[in-house]
A and B are shown apart, each in its own frame.
Chain A
Amino acid sequence: DVKVTQSSRYLVKRTGEKVFLECVQDMDHENMFWYRQDPGLGLRLIYFSYDVKMKEKGDIPEGYSVSREKKERFSLILESASTNQTSMYLCASSLTGVSGSKTQYFGPGTRLLVL
């Protein structure tokens, strides 16, 4: 059974703070994703990574960076948190799709409040 975990369920930070959100998956998946979920806007892709140290910008990368030093771990970094980054952040992982499955498995989410 695929397990994707995120470091925190809830976080409260102040404007200007540096924020780290961590995601870990235990299924040796190549792909990992960070999404932001806001009411009425669905899931918007921030960044994804297809291999260690490899990353690609998604639709809304501004104000965010990522790090993937190990295959199982994908971190999202808010360099200087702002109130408009208050949101639910979801991590996901998947195989490359070459094997036949592109199913994304999601973590439980981190609800971030920036004051």
Chain B
Amino acid sequence: GENVEQHPSTLSVQEGDSAVIKCTYSDSASNYFPWYKQELGKRPQLIIDIRSNVGEKKDQRIAVTLNKTAKHFSLHITETQPEDSAVYFCAASWGNYGQNFVFGPGTRLSVLP
């Protein structure tokens, strides 16, 4: 079955710097790759996603890139702010019915003022 690895497990950056989190997946049938942000004590919330027919997607300070050949996708956060501090989860999904999801183990991002 699908396996999603995520690195690093923890990441500390200075405010204003960029942060990059990388995920790799194993099943070439995966076609949807969301990223979720979970602030302390809150529910995971979708921040950006990308489908397999797209190589890059950007939303303000957040971008996701996908390399299907290498089976990896990355989250890029620019100009980090303290409110970006959270745990970030990547996921890979295959099939057309939204039922097949595997999440990565998460990355704890700390943005230091």
Listed in ascending order, the chain A residues whose CB lies under 8 Å from chain B are 4, 30-31, 33, 35, 40-45, 48, 50, 56, 90, 94-98, 101-109
Contacts and interface: CB of A to CB of B under 8 A. Distances in A.
Nearest to B46: A103
A98 B97 CA distance: 6
Contacts of A108: 42-43
Contacts of A42: 6, 89, 103-106
Contacts of B99: 31, 48, 50, 56, 96-97
B9 interface: yes
A50 B97 contact: yes
B45 interface: yes
Contacts of A109: 43
B23 to A, nearest CB: 11
Contacts, number: 66
A101 B106 CA distance: 23
A97 B105 contact: no
Contact of A96 (B36, B43, B45, B98): B98
A107 B105 contact: no
A97 B96 contact: yes
Contact of A31 (B9, B42, B97, B104): B97
Interface string B95-113: 1111101111110000000
A109 B43 CA distance: 7
Nearest to B95: A97
A43 B44 contact: yes
A30 to B, nearest CB: 8
A25 B43 CA distance: 14
Contact of B97 (A45, A97, A103, A104): A97
B93 interface: yes
9 contacts: A42-B105, A43-B103, A50-B97, A56-B99, A94-B98, A96-B99, A97-B96, A103-B34, A106-B44
